[in-house]
Amino acid sequence: MGNLKVAVGSDHGGFEYKESIIKFLQSKNIDCIDIGTYSKDSCDYPVIAKKLCEKILSGEADRGILICGTGIGMSIAANKIKGIRAALCHDTFSARATRAHNNSNVLCMGERVIGECLALDIVDMWLKTDFEGGRHQKRIDMLEA
Ligand code: RB5
């Protein structure tokens, strides 16, 4: 988890958690890129999702975290982009399972859905869990095809 570069983005509905997540990553010496938004002014989540996913596809970031009010808009937007496997997680079990089984490269959460401490636990679990490969790789290949 030490060498990971993580892009973090939100719309206005996820702005507070984006800021907390960036502080959390910095406290663990994890490299991060702040994709924005940079204030609580209203903005459009598809724009942020696209910008973040492009960082992953270009190799500038290994993984990304997207926050909006529900996490749903961000996950819909991110999953439209080929090569992105975005997982909407509001519990640590799903966060672990989606890394182990789906090799998700984007984590989405809703600031209006869960508390901040749980959100940070989910980030921690999602970042430290490795993809298991094996039988799951075949299914990832099917998704990509
Ligand atoms: C913004 O009000 C809200 O719609 C957005 O943050 C997100 O929840 C969309 O899915």
pLDDT per position as a tens digit, 107-139: 999 999 999 999 999 999 999 999 999 999 999
Q: From the candidates 12, 32, 53, 68, give the one annotated as an active-site residue.
A: 68
Percentage of the residues of the chain whose pLDDT score is greater than 70:
99
Which residue is closest in CA terms to ligand 1's atom 10? 73
Q: Residue type at 49?
A: A
Pick from 1-5, 29-33, 57-61: least confident: 1-5
Question: How close are the terminal C-alpha atoms of the chain, in Å?
Answer: 28
- Find the mean pLDDT for residues 13-17: 98
Q: What is the reported pLDDT for 3?
A: 87
Q: What is the mean pLDDT of residues 95-105?
A: 98
Going by CA atoms, what residue is nearest to atom 7 of ligand 1?
Answer: 69
**Spatial contact of 125 and 65, defined as CB atoms under 8 Å apart:** no
pLDDT at residue 23 is higher than 70? yes
Ligand 1 contacts CB of residue 46 (under 6 A): no
Would the pLDDT of 1 be above 80? no
Atom of ligand 1 nearest to the CA of 72: 10
- Kindly report the CATH class assigned to 5-144: alpha beta
69 lines ligand 1 (CB under 6 A): yes
- The answer to whether residues 75 and 98 touch, using CB atoms and an 8 Å cutoff, is no
DSSP readout, 7-76?
A: EEEE-GGGHHHHHHHHHHHHHTT-EEEEEE--SSS---HHHHHHHHHHHHHTTS-SEEEEEESSSHHHHH
Query: Ligand 1: which of 74, 109, 111 to mutate, most ligand atoms within 8 Å of CB?
Result: 74
